Amino acid sequence: MLVWQVAIPGPMASGPLRAVDRPVPEPGPGQVRLKVAACGVCRTDLHLAEGDLAPRRPHTVPGHEVVGYVDAIGPAPSTRAGGAQPAVRLGDRLGIAWLAGTDGTCAYCRRGAENLCPASVYTGWDVDGGYAQYAVVDATYAYPLPAGYSDGELAPLLCAGIVGYRALLRADLPPGGRLGIYGFGASAHLAAQVALAQGAIVHVMTRSERARQLALELGAASVTGAYDSPPEPLDAAVLFAPVGDLVPAALAALDRGGTLSIAGIHLTDIPPLNYRRHLFQERTVRSTTANTRADGQEFLAVAARHRLAVTVTPYSLAQADRALDDLARDRVNGAAVLFPDDG
Ligand SMILES: [Zn+2]
Ligand SMILES: [Zn+2]
């Protein structure tokens, strides 16, 4: 089968990804194999390709927004912490997301914070992901997916959607509150719709003219440039752009008691903060680290209730390097999604 692997991490211009032929993987105990129908291209894939995130293992296949159909089921696991195997049948449509495994036994896992498990492993970083025609996943980490969405529309929900949702939860937005969104790519455009569905007033700060247009179409109250001030103080903000320079601007835009939630796994350095201008009056800044499976299930339930508009820019699997390059150059509208069956 055709897969892409991270050959030598480096700038996209250096061609860090290589397309190779590999045998179709066999599902191990407790695993299922999906025939991949769509795989989203996440900014984290770009960080892995370019080496902002150090490789955990050589030649890993990226891609952790995988939608596919079960075409093989591995043997039952001998023993497993965490209870019974989910009932999975051949032909089921499932999703594979970023979190691929945890130990289930550490203090973080036991208190419901499995996203912080030191033994956690990730799709497309520790284990092979979905820039491929087939992918295997531990069945307990796969998600059943809501009806009413195409395969391509579901793919970006699996990381952009879920992690954006967790970042939104961590912003502690009060009901009907004023939310600032910094950066408006795949994750932000989904989180914005969840916030709007919950009655928030949403202000979007982003440099991309096309993204500002999309934000207005989705119902944003205002759009401005990335570093501009929103028209009113914010109760909460989420920083989606991986740009530390935006942290002081976002903190300065918060009202008293407001919270800034940083969504990304990677952020450029944050410039020095001024206590009075950026933090005093009980403003808070927080990071977001991946997500728990409970976050994922909750977000997908929200997506089942509120039909989210998912903007997809399609590519064939063979064009994965071009898709990542377009993402690096901010040329992607909404979410880039790879389709293995196209070409
Ligand atoms: Zn753990
Ligand atoms: Zn991701």
Distance 178 CA to ligand 1 centre (A): 35
Q: For residue 303, is it within any domain?
A: no
Distance 215 CA to ligand 2 centre (A): 21
Contact partners, residue 100, CB within 8 Å, separation at least 6 = 64, 120, 121, 122, 123, 126, 127, 137, 138, 141
The number of C-alpha atoms within 13 Å of 334 and in the hemisphere containing its C-beta is: 21
- Whole-model pTM: value is 0.92
Q: For residue 180, is it within any domain?
A: yes
DSSP secondary structure code for residue 127 in this structure? B
Phi, psi dihedrals of residue 124, rounded to the nearest 5°: 80, 5
Distance 155 CA to ligand 2 centre (A): 11
H or E element in which residue 300 lies: helix 293-305
Kindly state whether residues 78 and 195 are assigned to the same domain. no
Distance 162 CA to ligand 2 centre (A): 9
Kindly state whether residues 228 and 319 are assigned to the same domain. no
- Residue 55's nearest CA partner among 126, 143, 142, 136 is 126
Task: Read off the pLDDT of residues 281-307 as tens digits, 9 standing for 90 and up.
Answer: 999 999 999 999 999 999 999 999 999
In this prediction, residue 311 carries a pLDDT of 86
Which ligand minimizes its atom distance to the CA of 99? 2
Tokens for 60, please give them: 């890993």
Domain, as residue range, for 270: 162-287
Kindly state whether residues 118 and 192 are assigned to the same domain. no
Q: For residue 245, is it within any domain?
A: yes
Kindly state whether residues 136 and 170 are assigned to the same domain. no
Residues of the chain with pLDDT > 70, as a percent, come to 97
Q: For residue 214, is it within any domain?
A: yes
Which ligand minimizes its atom distance to the CA of 265? 2
Task: Read off the pLDDT of residues 49-101 as tens digits, 9 standing for 90 and up.
Answer: 999 888 899 999 999 999 999 999 999 987 655 555 678 999 999 999 999 99
Axis-axis angle for helices 320-328, 43-50 (nearest 10): 100
Low-confidence ranges of the chain (pLDDT < 70): 79-85, 342-343
Kindly state whether residues 236 and 319 are assigned to the same domain. no
In this prediction, residue 343 carries a pLDDT of 52
Rounded to an integer, what distance in angstroms lies between the CA atom of residue 208 and that of residue 210?
5
Which ligand minimizes its atom distance to the CA of 40? 2
Q: Letter for the amino acid at 201?
A: I
Distance 44 CA to ligand 2 centre (A): 5
Distance 104 CA to ligand 1 centre (A): 5
Contact partners, residue 341, CB within 8 Å, separation at least 6 = 37
Match 């293995």 to its residue by tokens.
340
